Amino acid sequence: METVAITAEPIQLDQFLKLAGIVDTGGQVKKLIEDGLIRINDQPATERRKKLHHGDTVEIKGTGIWKVTGP
């Protein structure tokens, strides 16, 4: 599991994935969600603007797991 530090919370899922260098565009996030590949705290992601907070985990099936941390 990798950690990604954010300076302010909450952060939107699409912004978090861009910050972590996992995707380049919000459209990529939308496709991953539609394909059922993203889970947040072990729950399927349903919206790309889902708010994430310190301690949340984001998993992309077949890619990895990231934890939201503070500065």
Domain boundaries, the chain: 2-69
Mean pLDDT of 2-19: 93
2-69: what fold? 3.10.290
Residues 59, 4: Cα–Cα separation, whole Å: 13
Judged against a pLDDT cut of 90, whether residue 41 lies above it is answered with yes
**What whole-number percentage of the chain has pLDDT above 90?**
90
Whole-number pLDDT of residue 26: 87
The DSSP bridge pattern shows strands 64-69 and 2-5 to be parallel
Whole-number pLDDT of residue 70: 85
Distances (CA, A) of 30 to 7, 8, 52: 24, 23, 16
